[in-house]
Amino acid sequence: MPAAAVVLFNFSNSSYVHRVIELLKSNFNLDSEVIHPLINPSEFYSSERDQYYSTKILEKVIRAYDDRYDKILTLTDHDLFVPVLTFVFGEAQLTGKAAIVSSHRLHQEFYGLPSDDEVLLQRLEKEVLHEIGHTFGLKHCIDWNCVMHSSSNVDEIDIKPKDFCKTCSKKIPSL
């Protein structure tokens, strides 16, 4: 059975890790192992942006765990960016091995709203499925009823379901 690493990079929502592992198993048939890496966050930090460069984090994690796992998912609480965008909820290698998801902008509190653990968990699950979907070669889907539909804000994450449409489902080998 394919193996996955769930790398916790300054991720404080440890109660959600079990749910993420279940998602990886049920949706992609991946057995997962949790890893607490010794990574210095300052390597990826941009003081100009007050954010962390997600592509560089992925590169570091891939170098560390590439030879041991079929897929590598990094979870973080850090606010992420890529140079051409203001922020990203996550990033993945298309048809590759690694993905990263940040919970930073998934929290209701980020938008001045009361904390809601259930909303946070639903958003996190959708983003994990979306980013790992990219590693299986899935591109953004035009179907709003597919988790692979692109989301530029949390409202768009909230609208879409936690499921892959029929077209995307057929492209994932384990589904």
Active site residues: 131
Q: Where are the alpha helices (DSSP H) in the chain?
A: 17-28, 54-65, 117-135, 154-159, 166-171
Contacts of 94 (CB under 8 A, 6+ apart): 134, 135, 137, 139
- Residue 33 bridge partners (DSSP): 5
Q: Are 89 and 74 in contact (CB under 8 A)?
A: no
- How is residue 158 written in tokens? 């909230």
Contacts of 41 (CB under 8 A, 6+ apart): 9, 10, 52, 78
